[in-house]
Amino acid sequence: MTLSVLMPVFALMTSLLASVVLFALPEKGHRLRTIINLAAAILKIALVGVMIWGVAQGREYEAAFTMVPGVEFVLRADALSMLFAGLSAVLWLLTTIYAVGYLEDSPNRSRFFGFFSLCVASTMGIALAGNLFTFFLFYEMLTLSTYPLVVHRGTTKALRAGRNYIIYTLTGGAVLLFAIAWLHGLVGDLRFQEGGYFSEVDPSMQGPLTIIFVLMIVGLGVKAALVPFHGWLPQAMVAPAPVSALLHAVAVVKAGAFGIIRVVFEIYGLEAAKDMGLLAGLSVVAAFTIIYGSTRALYQVDLKRRLAFSTVSQVSYIVLGVCLFGPVGVAGGLVHLVHQGIMKITLFFCAGNYAETLGVHRIDELDGAGKRMPGTSVAFTLGAFGMIGAPPLAGFITKWTMGSGALAVGMDWVVAVLVISSLLNAAYFLPILHRLWFAEQCEPWPHERRWGRLETSAWLLWPPLITAALMLVAGLIANLPFSPLSWAELIVAREVAL
């Protein structure tokens, strides 16, 4: 086998093999467990980095074999897959560091980190999937590997949230499987292909293809938390903070959004989807989800639930960007896959720090926390302003690029959606920042812990500081080569027929 065949396999196997070893480790093997977690994460970054460099140079990395006649298992690295794989690899390392500190005194750590690695393997498989069949295998594997993480604490509330999660996601998976099987029956096994397959559609096929598209969006929209399929996401916030960070920034919601991108760009084709009238309805659903999620976030008093409804809103920026028929707007939606991940993981890391260090879960308990935990609060502040869209942070790059792209193609109403959303973002984030920095603490923290001279454990403090810095850097270097925005523009140039 050549290196071009082995690289996608190795990138997938790092976390898959790590999960097998981690499941077998005894609970007392804390040091070895940490070494395996970090070594696998670092190795994955190295492998993905090599493939990113190769893809930028025009190299191809693909491994494929026939499962049954007419159906292939395909792993492939292309520009689009590397956008998602790069995000997953970097944030997995930081989330692993955070999880080691967060779960330091918790039971069942081998089980947790085993499923944690299996979840990341599933996400990497989704990123590298070269056709719908392979994508679906890892899509469902992600559902099954994240369920034990959601119910990890074993409380009644966690089990109820897990039950809802599994009902939503398995139902969505069944709908997606039906759509894939129907499409396979019509046209056979379709690899993901730049420009898609339906630039010239037989009129007799347009009806079935429209229904299949709707079914695929429903199946993928469950994980992407499109309204009305978003109900599982706020309830899943009972999971530990590292799991919440993984769900919102890297794995589940991004898998759904990434799947929608694949279907629109590389199965139907952006131009064909527009000509068939499929993108108009999808853009309306995405715009409604953006406003709805932000509005619901306003009324949440639990910090993680407010962030969860923020995710419902923010992930739909990606979906809306897919529907902007123009290179600038499409690049804005694609780059938000990365930008939202960095910003949202920062916010959830910080929420976990407040909970672990001060015992704070409600927003009205955060008064004066900025003075007690300045590093965490600076990171949270940057994340909040990034979500609002303040320059020069990553969120500003997303909104400016999408707005410019929308105006360029005459979709002025998208700018109104972005402005309204930004105002709502400010309305639910600025009161939190006021409590952190300007309100005086009136009552003792619910459950305060001390970690020597640091405001919290170093394992918990460094990840949000690093992701906050990445958020700032992503905005400052947006026009430089290998920035997330320049990579999104590369995808548009290579893979989207405009």
pTM score of the predicted model: 0.93
Tens of pLDDT, residue by residue over 53-89, are: 999 888 889 888 887 888 889 999 999 999 999 999 9
Question: With the CA atoms of 493, 80, 341 and 339 taken in that order, what torsion angle do they form, in degrees rounded to the nearest 10?
Answer: -10
Would you state the pLDDT for residue 496? Answer: 61
Helix (H), strand (E), coil (C) string for 397-424 = HHHHHHHHHHHHCCCHHHHHHHHHHHHH
DSSP-derived 3-state class of residue 77: strand
Would you state the pLDDT for residue 1? Answer: 60
Q: Which residues of the chain have pLDDT under 70?
A: 1, 201, 248, 495-498
CB 310 within 8 A of CB 428: yes
Would you state the pLDDT for residue 452? Answer: 73
CB 254 within 8 A of CB 337: yes
Report DSSP state, residue 439: S
- In the block, residue with structure tokens 């990171």: 379
Would you state the pLDDT for residue 495? Answer: 65
**Beta-carbon neighbour count of residue 80 at 10 Å?**
27
Label residue 195 left, alpha or beta by phi (over 0 means left) and psi (-120 to 50 means alpha): left
d(CA 423, CA 286): 17
Would you state the pLDDT for residue 85? Answer: 92
Angle (CA) 142 143 145, round 5°: 65
**Beta-carbon neighbour count of residue 374 at 10 Å?**
13
**Beta-carbon neighbour count of residue 412 at 10 Å?**
10
CB 364 within 8 A of CB 439: no
Would you state the pLDDT for residue 396? Answer: 94
Tens of pLDDT, residue by residue over 250-262, are: 778 888 999 999 9
Q: Given CA atoms 127, 128, 131, 132 in this order, what sign does their dihedral have?
A: negative
| Residues facing residue 68 across a β-bridge | 71
